[in-house]
């Protein structure tokens, strides 16, 4: 696989020879946008970035790859509309339909029946089952659809805090592999994780053997079936570069693990320019328990215990710039989140509910944040609504006790 800098040579003409093998992305399960247990964009970030790059390369007259997105039939129309709204050229195809078509008398009928039976038994609320079926269907695609098969979190730019951008002077061409191959994750922690598969033709002998080996002894993350093919580390495949920052790599979202940063919370630390682009991929007003959202000083600690939003959390983090981005993109400033407040020197605990504006006011009153502009920013968005005075500060509590 090669990454070639643009030169001053005349661009290649737009002909059929410029169309390279398809890049097949596969997502099994519901869309992530409204799934509170998923990372926002896990299903679509990779395909959208690839399609943006291919669109750019097509405009330059450079070689391109067709982008194909495979999903369950029930979500096909959703993803078609989503990609249309993003103005990217991605062909959405149904997993179910391909299985049905291959069963209708093709040379892959036997393998298609295996996949159909697995789909019928699939428990769609089980991450384990979804990933295992994804592995099986990936191996089936390796036989049915020549080209590349990539995880949806495989991205074209190995820089985590740059999102949804194209590379103006780099042509990303998938020309490196010529035989059935797999590319292994570069991180030692994920040596068993293969994020790219390739087959040069339909029903290739090696690809068929891989599928049959898996079917004889199916299992979760069963990579031993790939032992007889061309296995490359990403460095060997010349597709992972830290310097210069161009290449292909995989974000490990770890969405099947018990991490607290779900939905758009996963991206709350990225650069503001990328944050502006990424928030449309998730539910900006999703509410959840945010155990990670707390702040303290020598007198008190405040922690979210329910219904926290990304807006609440970024107010608490005193991140005025990202708060403005959220408000400009329709964040609901009337939602209330529940907080536990511990008064340290008085050994007192209470529970309060705050809108983002009320939270900002309370934090400033108690010297937990110091940006008065936060209050003005939120008030300007919601009009001239006054700050509620129902929430007293620590100093108010102390004064009240002295007077009693």
Residue 387 lies in a domain: yes
Are 24 and 145 spatial neighbours (Cβ–Cβ below 8 Å)?
Answer: yes
Give yes or no: residues 303 and 385 share one domain. yes
H-run or E-run covering 207: helix 205-216
The greatest distance separating any two alpha carbons of the chain, rounded to the nearest whole angstrom, comes to 88
* pLDDT at 53 (0 to 100): 87
- What span, in angstroms and rounded, lies between the C-alpha atoms of 96 and 74? 9
* pLDDT at 210 (0 to 100): 87
Give yes or no: residues 327 and 238 share one domain. no
H-run or E-run covering 144: helix 127-144
User: What is the CA angle 107-120-48, rounded to 5?
Assistant: 80
- Provide the CATH number for the domain around residue 308: 1.25.40
List average pLDDT for each run of 10 residues in the chain, which is 404 residues long: 35 44 93 87 92 89 91 97 96 97 91 95 84 91 91 68 69 70 57 74 88 81 67 48 45 57 88 91 93 94 96 96 95 96 92 96 94 88 52 39 41
CA 31 to chain centre: 11
User: What is the CA angle 23-27-29, rounded to 5?
Assistant: 170
Residues with Cβ within 8 Å of residue 126, at least 6 apart in sequence = none
Q: Which of 214, 172, 164 is nearest to 54 (CA)?
A: 172
Domain end marker among 250, 275, 303: 250
* pLDDT at 390 (0 to 100): 37
Q: How crowded is the C-beta side of 388, counted as CA atoms within 13 Å?
A: 12
* pLDDT at 5 (0 to 100): 39
Query: The tokens 């049959």 sit on which residue?
Result: 212
- Provide the CATH number for the domain around residue 65: 3.90.550
Q: Specify burial of residue 386 (Cβ count, 10 A radius: 0-12, 13-18, 19+).
A: exposed
The β-bridge relationship of strands 91-94 and 64-71 is parallel
- What span, in angstroms and rounded, lies between the C-alpha atoms of 56 and 50? 10
Q: Which of 176, 167, 175, 174 is nearest to 59 (CA)?
A: 167
Give yes or no: residues 17 and 157 share one domain. yes
Give yes or no: residues 165 and 44 share one domain. yes
Query: Is the model's pTM score more than 0.85?
Result: no
Q: How many domains does the chain have?
A: 2
Which residue range is the domain that position 88 belongs to? 2-250
Q: How crowded is the C-beta side of 218, counted as CA atoms within 13 Å?
A: 16
């Amino acid at each position: 696989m090669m990454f070639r800098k643009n030169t001053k040579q005349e661009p290649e003409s737009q002909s059929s020879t410029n169309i390279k093998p398809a890049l097949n992305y596969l997502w099994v399960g519901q869309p992530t946008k409204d799934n509170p247990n998923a990372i926002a964009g896990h299903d679509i970030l990779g395909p959208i970035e690839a399609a943006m790059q291919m669109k750019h390369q097509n405009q330059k007259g450079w070689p391109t790859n067709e982008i194909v997105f495979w999903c369950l039939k029930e979500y096909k129309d959703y993803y078609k509309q989503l990609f249309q709204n993003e103005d990217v050229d991605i062909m959405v195809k149904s997993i179910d339909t391909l299985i049905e078509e291959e069963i209708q008398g093709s040379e892959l009928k036997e393998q298609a029946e295996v996949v159909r039976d697995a789909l019928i038994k699939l428990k769609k609320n089980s991450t384990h089952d979804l990933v295992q079926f994804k592995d099986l269907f990936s191996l089936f695609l390796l036989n049915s659809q020549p080209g590349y098969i990539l995880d949806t979190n495989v991205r074209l730019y190995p820089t985590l805090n740059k999102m949804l951008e194209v590379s103006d002077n780099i042509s990303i061409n998938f020309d490196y592999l010529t035989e059935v191959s797999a590319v292994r994750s570069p991180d030692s922690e994920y040596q068993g994780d293969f994020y790219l598969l390739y087959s040069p033709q339909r029903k290739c002998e090696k690809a068929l053997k891989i599928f049959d080996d898996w079917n004889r002894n199916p299992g979760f993350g069963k990579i031993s079936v790939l032992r007889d093919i061309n296995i490359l580390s990403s460095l060997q495949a010349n597709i992972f570069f830290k310097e210069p920052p161009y290449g292909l790599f995989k974000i490990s979202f770890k969405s099947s693990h018990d991490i607290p940063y779900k939905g758009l919370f996963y991206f709350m630390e990225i650069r503001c320019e990328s944050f502006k682009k990424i928030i449309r991929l998730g539910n900006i007003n999703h509410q959840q328990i945010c155990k990670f959202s707390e702040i303290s000083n020598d007198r008190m600690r405040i922690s979210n215990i329910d219904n926290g939003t990304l807006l609440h959390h970024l107010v608490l983090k005193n991140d005025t710039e990202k708060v403005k981005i959220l408000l400009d993109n329709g964040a609901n400033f009337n939602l209330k989140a529940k907080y536990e407040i511990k008064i340290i020197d008085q050994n007192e605990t209470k529970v309060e509910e705050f809108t983002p504006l009320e939270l900002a006011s309370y934090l400033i009153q108690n010297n937990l944040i110091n940006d008065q502009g936060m209050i003005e920013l939120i008030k300007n968005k919601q009009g001239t609504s006054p700050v509620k005075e129902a929430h007293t500060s620590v100093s108010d509590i102390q004064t009240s006790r002295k007077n009693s």
